[in-house]
Amino acid sequence: KNQVEQSPQSLIILEGKNCTLQCNYTVSPFSNLRWYKQDTGRGPVSLTIMTFSENTKSNGRYTATLDADTKQSSLHITASQLSDSASYICVVDTGFQKLVFGTGTRLLVSP
Partner 1 sequence: SQTIHQWPATLVQPVGSPLSLECTVEGTSNPNLYWYRQAAGRGLQLLFYSVGIGQISSEVPQNLSASRPQDRQFILSSKKLLLSDSGFYLCAWTRTGGNYGYTFGSGTRLTVV
**Which stretches of the chain bind partner 1, using CB under 8 A?**
4, 31-32, 34, 41-46, 49, 51, 89, 93, 97-104
Indicate the length of the chain as a whole number.
Answer: 111
Shortest gap between Cβ of 110 and partner 1 (angstroms)? 22
β-bridge mates for residue 107, sequence order? 11, 86
| Burial class of residue 46 (count of CB atoms within 10 Å of its CB; 0-12, 13-18, 19+) | exposed
Shortest gap between Cβ of 76 and partner 1 (angstroms)? 20
Closer Cβ to partner 1, 77 or 90, answer by number = 90
Shortest gap between Cβ of 103 and partner 1 (angstroms)? 5
Output the CA torsion sign for 75, 91, 37, 9.
negative
In eight-state DSSP terms, residue 27 is -
Closer Cβ to partner 1, 35 or 80, answer by number = 35
